[in-house]
Structure 1
Amino acid sequence: MAVSDPVADMLARLRNAHQGLHAKVNVPVSKMKADIARILKDEGFIADYEVGERDMVVTLKYVGGKPVITGTKKVSKPGRRVYVGVGEIPRVRNGLGICVLSTSKGVMDGERAATEKVGGELLCEIW
């Protein structure tokens, strides 16, 4: 089935798997979703991810039986794209979360985009 917003679908799958206390979740693979999974792993929000031919298996991370990802917000939607400049990159939950941007230099978190002095489309916020 075709999905109109693949990133929102990925975030919903992660949220639903966390609510069910699953260890792993399958997500249809794309380059952007693999980049978002890489960022989540680097920032410590997920334990690991494996990219297959058609699916990506994301291993979720729990601390003391509670999920590390407590919330997600899709900012840029198909009907309303949100673009930010370098000075407008938001701080999520006073630095406890991250925002993910699609820039001209690739998909990266807000902190890295600010250090590389590049803005772009604000995809989502994760905390």
Structure 2
Amino acid sequence: MMTDPIADMLTRMRNALVIERPHVDMPLSKMKTGVADVLQREGYIWDYEVLDTAPAKTLRINLKYSATGERVIQRLTRVSKPGRRVYSESRKLQDVMQGMGIFVLSTNQGMLSSREAKAKHVGGEVVCEVW
């Protein structure tokens, strides 16, 4: 039984990036789709798609690499964990890598990047850090 599906998602993505796979597949959930949507909007992945597989649907994330083959995502870290939830107000969100990275937040307006959350003046649970 998996206790933290988001940590599993991030680990699958880290492992695929290390071996330079073009895409990574994982079980589908709304929260994982939200994280993938934020990563696509911010330019960290090419895109994502929902595959209708049996017995359950699958989320496929197409990873992004530079023209020289360097990974666009250098680091994926889970911030809020099942045993310790981390929440932040929009005005208290710090820059990640001096603006080179983002936090992914779960807010009452859906999944947002830290840049979008600051612009909309909403806070929420800090799901992960990406740079």
- TM bucket by the smaller chain? over 0.9
Matched, 1:62 2:69: no
Unaligned 5+ segments in structure 1 are none
1:121 corresponds to which of 120, 125, 131? 125
What are the equivalent positions in structure 2 for 1:1-127 lying under 5 Å apart? Answer: 2-53=1-52, 54-63=57-66, 64-127=68-131
Q: CA deviation at 1:73?
A: 1.1
Identity of aligned residues (%): 45
Q: Secondary structure of 1:102's match?
A: strand
Deviations 1:70-107 (A, max 9, x none): 00111100000001012111211111011000111111
Tell me the distance in 1 between the aligned counterparts of 2:42 and 2:125.
Answer: 20
Deviation >2 Å, runs of 4+: none
Deviates more, 1:70-79 or 1:49-58: 49-58
Please tell me the residue identity of whatever aligns with 2:101: G
Q: CA deviation at 1:52?
A: 2.5
TM-score by length of 2: 0.92
Unaligned 5+ segments in structure 2 are none
Q: Secondary structure of 2:104's match?
A: strand
